[in-house]
Structure formats: structure tokens, C-alpha cells
Amino acid sequence: MNHLPTAPTRQIGLSELLLSYRLTYRMLHQAQTAAAPGDKELISGMMSDVQYAIEWMKTGRCPANRRGIERRSACQREKLMDPQQMQTYLEQQSCPTRPNPLTGEQRVRLELALSLLSPRERECFELHHGMCYSLQEIASLLQLKKGTVQYYVQTAQSKLRPDKLQGLKRVPSVTAGR
């Protein structure tokens, strides 16, 4: 393994860097007073950038933020929200812990509707909506890509839309008479 000779590097501390920026700021200030009107705007922008860096090094924070988020008052950290709206949001996001009991007729209609789905669509749909698995979890279980699982779930949802199920009547199964 060949090692190329490199120039010796010198590490500088933050205090040296800060001093360097301050000297640069002073030099820019002197240059601004002697500069032509067109150059003054450019130098002013440079001074602003250097001042921003100096402020960041002195405080250890972004200069625009006077306080870190952890030091803000409660009224700045917390957002007021209607409790009913929050409850509705949480109900939409969470999976029901106890499914509602189905009547016999509802169960038959559900089975009939789910029979319209391909086996893979049904499996993905039941895991996602019935057992509250995430798309990524389903993909891992079934050894599919997440996008494929998402496609199956969306296809199943479109097949189970109420407008598509309205004309659905109970069809006697072929295996029932055996």
C-alpha cells in the first residue's frame, strides 16, 4: 500500500477560527469604506455572511433562533386543538382493538364481497385493514415489496367500493351441494 506524502495538517480550535472570522469581518469593513458603490453591496453581503457565522460560533445555535426548542415556553411548544377533533383523528389512525360483532347476514355479505378479490389481494387487505399491519410489515411477512402490497390493498379497496357492491347478490356456491 503506497502512502503519498501529505502536507502536515494543523488543527485549529474554535477560538482561533472565531478570531480569524473577526479579522475577516474587520478587513471587509475597511474594504467597504474604500469600495466603489457597486462593490459595496457585494461586500455588505459578505459581511452579513461572516457576521452570521460569527454569531453561530459564539452561541452554538442558529442565529435566527434565540432559544432552542427545549427552552421555549409552554405557549410556544404546545398547539391548542379541539379535543373532539383530536379524538376523531386518533380513531381514524388507530386500529380497533375489538371488532364490532357481525350479524349472520353481514357476515355472509362480507364473505361474498371478499370473494371478489384475488387470494393475494384478500390476504393483503385483511392483514392491513383487519389486523392493522403496516404495509411494510405485510411486505416482510409475504416476502413482497411494499409497493406491491400497496397496489394489492388499493386494488382491493377499489373493488370493494360501495358503488361496485350495490348489485351484488348472494350466489350459491358450487361446493355447497357436495
**pLDDT, tens digit, for every residue of 145-158?**
999 999 999 999 88
Residue with cell 477560527: 17
- The closest alpha carbon to 19, from 46, 48, 45, 50, belongs to 50
- The predicted pLDDT at position 11 comes to 67
Tell me the per-residue pLDDT of 98-144, one tens digit each, with 9 for 90 and over: 666 778 887 888 888 888 899 999 999 989 888 888 999 999 999 99
Amino acid in the structure at residue 81: M
Contact (Cβ atoms closer than 8 angstroms) between residue 40 and residue 32: yes
Grid coordinates representing 33 are 469604506
d(CA 51, CA 68): 20
Mean pLDDT of 62-79: 65
Please, where are the H alpha helices in 60-145?
Answer: 74-77, 83-93, 104-114, 119-125, 135-142
For the entire predicted model, the pTM comes to 0.42
Instruction: For CA atoms 71, 76, 77, 78, give the dihedral sign.
Output: positive
Cα distances from 55 to residues 18, 51, 72, 112, 165, in angstroms, run 9, 6, 20, 68, 65
Work out the pLDDT band at 169, boundaries 50, 70, 90. Answer: low
Amino acid identity at 122: R
Cell triple for 47: 459581511
Question: Which CATH class name applies to 103-170?
Answer: mainly alpha
Higher pLDDT, 44 or 97: 44
